[in-house]
Amino acid sequence: MLQEEGQTVGFDPEYVCYVHHPWYVNLFAFYLLFMLALAMDRAVRLFWISRKRRIAAEQPESYLKSAAQDPWELLLVKARSLKNLSHLTVLLSVLILSCSMSDHFSAITTQKVAGIWAIAGAAADALTTFSAGIVVAIVLFCIAVLCERVIHRRRSAAGGEGSKVQPRPTNASQ
């Protein structure tokens, strides 16, 4: 088949690769970037503060010895908050996935012809955002675990008060 002059060949894909994302997907992308930056900032601060505390604990008259509570506990709380943020990120990823899939499926139902390629493309687009959220949650969780281990190691090396890890109380012992 030869094309006559003046005719154009049209391409009408069922699913276009570039899709204008809804506002909540863009907001979630900014949230992921913010969480990565926050995790890196907290990790660096926790390592720096724990190093300073270990050095201060080695000196004979340390201001840390006179503190009423364990100075390492605040660092552990900050490290555990990163774990909580990783759980929040997983939940937000699932929420964004469900909202995106809902939007994509409702758009596909209004099309005149919806093939398997349109459904697969919509699912792939939604799963890309979900996968990014899961990756950020994994990074947050790994940083939190790493920070906790470093703090416990430095706490026990400093010989500070309560250097043994205390088990969390159970409901039966309360």
pLDDT tens for residues 62-121?
Answer: 554 544 456 677 778 888 888 888 888 899 989 888 888 888 777 777 776 667 777 777
Which has more pLDDT, 57 or 126? 126
| pTM (predicted TM-score) | 0.62
- The model's confidence at residue 169, banded by pLDDT at 50, 70 and 90, is low
Amino acid at 75: L
Does residue 164 belong to any structural domain of this protein?
no
| 167-173 long-range Cβ contacts below 8 angstroms, 24+ apart | none
23-58 and 71-109 helices cross at what angle (nearest 10)?
170
**Per-residue pLDDT, 63:** 52
Tell me if 173 is assigned to some domain: no
Q: Tell me what pLDDT residue 174 has.
A: 47
Look at residue 19 in the predicted model and tell me its pLDDT: 60
Residue 130 within any structural domain of the chain: yes
- Our separate counts of H helices and E strands in the chain read 3, 0
Stretch 132-155: mean pLDDT, rounded?
87
Listed in sequence order, the residues at least 6 apart from 164 whose beta carbon sits closer than 8 Å to its beta carbon are 156
DSSP code of residue 35: H
Widest CA span in the chain: 93
Tens of pLDDT, residues 25-75: 888 889 999 999 998 998 888 888 877 877 776 666 555 454 445 667 777
DSSP 64: T
Please tell me the distance from the alpha carbon of residue 52 to that of residue 56, in angstroms, as a whole number. 6
Best mean pLDDT range from 2-6, 35-39, 169-173: 35-39
Does any domain span residue 151? yes
Domain-located, residue 77: yes
Q: Which domain holds residue 75?
A: 23-58+70-158
Within a domain: residue 171? no
Contact present, 147 and 79 (Cβ < 8 Å): yes
Report the number of distinct structural domains present in the chain: 1
pLDDT given at position 30: 92
Residue 147 within a domain: yes
